[in-house]
Amino acid sequence: MLKRLEVKNLAAIREAALELSPGLNVLTGETGTGKSLLVDALSLLLGAKAEGLVGPFGDSLLVTAFFGEEGERVLSRRVGGRSTPRIDGEVVSLRELQEEAERWLSLHAQHTALALLSPKRQRESLDALLDPALPARYQEAYAQRQRLLAEKQALEAALRTKAEREDLLRFQLREIREADPTPGEDEALEAEARKLRHLETLRARAGQAYALLGEEGGVSALEAAIRELRAGGRLDPALDALAQDLEAALQGVRAVARELEDYLEGLEGDPGRLEAVEARLALLERLKRKYGPTLEDVLAHAKRAEAELSGLEGGEKRLLELAQALQGAEKALREAGEALSQARREAAQRLGTGMVEELAALGLPEARFQVDLIPLPEPGPYGLEEVAFRFAASPHLPLAPLSAASGGELSRIALALALLTGAEAPTVVFDEMDTGVGGETAWKLAERLARLGEKRQVLVVTHLPQIAARARRHLRVVKEGQEVRVEVLEGEARVRELARLLSGQYTEAALAHARLLLEAP
């Protein structure tokens, strides 16, 4: 539900806020205070244009709505300057904002892009009267048929170029298999090539090190030092301990010298090895450029090519299987579609009858309402037909799309649909629905809005005291100079506002009548 609405610099409103409650909320106020501007603010969240709505109190207007019950969803739109739609503070596209707002809010007012006019909303309203399993079964059958069709079309396209594709895949597989790469092979070869390219330098460095450590170098020097320390150790045991440490170091030096000797012998490798390594590296690089960027990717490509080749080789068989599967899918779709269409025809009759009765009670006694099911040339994602509502306010007018109805008529149509189908967003807003309404119709309208408020949060901009008296929360728009504020009315303040709506005065008779309205069940 809508918990709070904030507006800044919206036309004549510098700044205002509405705090709403569950159930039925009403908004009243003197003519010209800006009641409908607050509805315009909500329409901006639903993607409406903001022409003429940026006020004189800044370069931009800002609308922020707080939705939710346990959690909270914050939708906002800034218009003018840097126009910015946001959801929970994150910048989004206007389309994304509109789609999210439609999850929370239905708006029925004059000059507003009403969701009720869309074929989607009309279909959803009718389908709300059906067993949910029927549309779900059809949509599942449609999705299955589409999956099979897509696979069949892709396979047919592949088979048209089968010979060329098979040749390409076989060439790729042959190229990779003949090279027979292994993961990490290129890194090992690169290290070996680097060593072979600098063979002379490595031989010179290792040879010099070996000469310095050998029997004529470091080893003999260490042996001489040990002998001296042993001789001195006979006089001072501390020198003998140092001799032992040097013995251990000598063993290490001898081990390094032996490894250097083996290393030098190993450098006398095959003189053609470098050429072979570089040739292998060049081959692997070509594979990586074509199928890489790594050897793991090259091998993965080979697996995919093998699988695709296998699929192409069995393509004709799979095409026959798909043709058989499609026959079954088409049959299931047709059966699901016919069941859905039959249920829709029955529901359309019930809805048409119910709407005529409801509209008569809402002050349109001669109105006609009809639900048309227009067959589609091909099964669509939601059925075999489109759903279209037709309306005429009097018997002298032809049935026409809802777009031909006035704002007040549309609001009453929306209310009747909401009561009969339950297909509405959590928060429903009505404006101008009580134009030209009075007497018994006003009471019926108030009763139905209160009934809808038991299932949805409802906000009504109204001048009818009968509606205002049924509200759980009564809000009044007050204009003081250029400032507009919204106040919650309770107690005697609410009685006085109802008296004003009743007679335009605060007479004792009007006040007494207002109290009776509030006390009525």
C-alpha closest to that of 366 among 390, 407, 404, 395: 395
| Regions of the chain with pLDDT less than 70 | 110-114, 199, 203, 206, 210, 214-217, 228, 266, 268-271
Q: What is the pLDDT of residue 114?
A: 61
Is there a contact between 103 and 348 (Cβ–Cβ < 8 Å)?
A: no
Give residue-wise pLDDT tens across range 141-173. Answer: 999 999 999 999 988 887 777 777 888 888 999
Is there a contact between 431 and 39 (Cβ–Cβ < 8 Å)?
A: yes
Is there a contact between 250 and 223 (Cβ–Cβ < 8 Å)?
A: yes
Q: Nearest 5 degrees, angle CA 383-CA 386-CA 390?
A: 145
The angle, 0 to 180 degrees and rounded to 10, between the axes of the packed helices 185-197 and 199-213 is: 70
Q: Round to whole Å and give the CA distance between 117 and 388.
A: 9
Domain spans in the chain, listed from the N-terminal domain onward? 2-110+406-489, 164-313
Q: Round to whole Å and give the CA distance between 92 and 180.
A: 50
Is there a contact between 367 and 383 (Cβ–Cβ < 8 Å)?
A: no
Q: What contacts 287, CB < 8 A, 6 or more positions away?
A: 175, 176, 179, 181, 295, 298
Instruction: Provide the CB-side half-sphere exposure for 344 (13 A, CA).
Output: 29
Is there a contact between 227 and 173 (Cβ–Cβ < 8 Å)?
A: no
Q: What is the pLDDT of residue 249?
A: 80
**How many Å separate Cα 398 from the centre of its chain?**
42
Matching residue, tokens 């609410």: 494
Instruction: Provide the CB-side half-sphere exposure for 193 (13 A, CA).
Output: 14
The correct CATH number of 2-110+406-489 out of 3.30.70.980, 3.40.50.300, 3.40.50.800, 2.40.50.140 is 3.40.50.300
Q: Assign residue 29 a region: left if phi > 0, alpha if psi is -120 to 50, beta otherwise?
A: left
**How many Å separate Cα 145 from the centre of its chain?**
25
Q: What is the pLDDT of residue 435?
A: 76
Q: What is the pLDDT of residue 215?
A: 59
Residue 403's Cβ-count burial label (10 Å; 0-12, 13-18, 19+) is exposed
Q: Round to whole Å and give the CA distance between 388 and 122.
A: 7
Instruction: Provide the CB-side half-sphere exposure for 421 (13 A, CA).
Output: 28
DSSP 16-36: EEEE--SSEEEEEE-TTS-HH
Fill in the DSSP letter of residue 397.
S
Beta bridge partners of 62: 8, 78
Q: What is the pLDDT of residue 113?
A: 47
Is there a contact between 363 and 436 (Cβ–Cβ < 8 Å)?
A: yes
Cα four-point dihedral sign 432, 436, 442, 448: negative
Beta bridge partners of 84: 78
The Cβ of residue 430 has, within 10 Å, a number of other Cβ atoms equal to 29
Note the maximum CA span of the chain: 136
Question: SS3 for 65-130, per residue?
Answer: EEECCCCCEEEEEEECCCCEEEECCEECCHHHHHHHHHHHEEEECCCCCCHHHCHHHHHHHHHCCC
Q: Compute CA distances 214 → 224, 266, 394, whole Å.
A: 14, 18, 118
The backbone torsions φ and ψ at residue 31, rounded to the nearest 5 degrees and listed phi first, read -60, 135
Give residue-wise pLDDT tens across range 318-337. Answer: 888 899 999 999 999 999 99
**pTM of the predicted structure, to 2 decimals:** 0.67
Q: Round to whole Å and give the CA distance between 449 and 469.
A: 11
